[in-house]
Amino acid sequence: MIKTYVLAGAALAMSFGASAAMSPQLENTLIAVCKAGASNNIFQFNRTMKDNRINKRRVFPRLVCNGESFYDFTVNAGADKTAKRIAPYTRGQGTVTIKDIAMTKSDAELYVVNYE
């Protein structure tokens, strides 16, 4: 009986870490990055990166805009200039498996879902 409570408590504690919510400020910043990336305007893109102090090496490989990696999102939006600019920061082709932002140090994906 005690084992059941311990297992239930451990499962509950792990579920809180996996479903951590994104702050509104972070979400708005990432939406701005997605919009700037889709604009294909390098001046606007660079300004957004500078104004929001975006660390390209940490954010670009993990950022997901509308269900696509940031690089694929820019390519599908026809933003070839932006895609060329962020290509060095993308990781190899693979599949995205993390659905929520987890409280991990480096492997969590940063999702922005359907911005308008």
57 Cβ contact list (under 8 Å, min separation 6):
89
Quick: pLDDT tens for 31-68. Answer: 999 999 999 999 999 999 999 999 888 888 889 999 99
Confidence grade of residue 9 (pLDDT, cut at 50, 70, 90)? very low
Pairing of the two strands 110-112 and 63-65: parallel
Residue spans of the domains in the chain: they are 21-112
Quick: pLDDT tens for 68-101. Answer: 999 999 999 999 999 999 998 886 545 545 454 4
Average pLDDT, the chain: 75
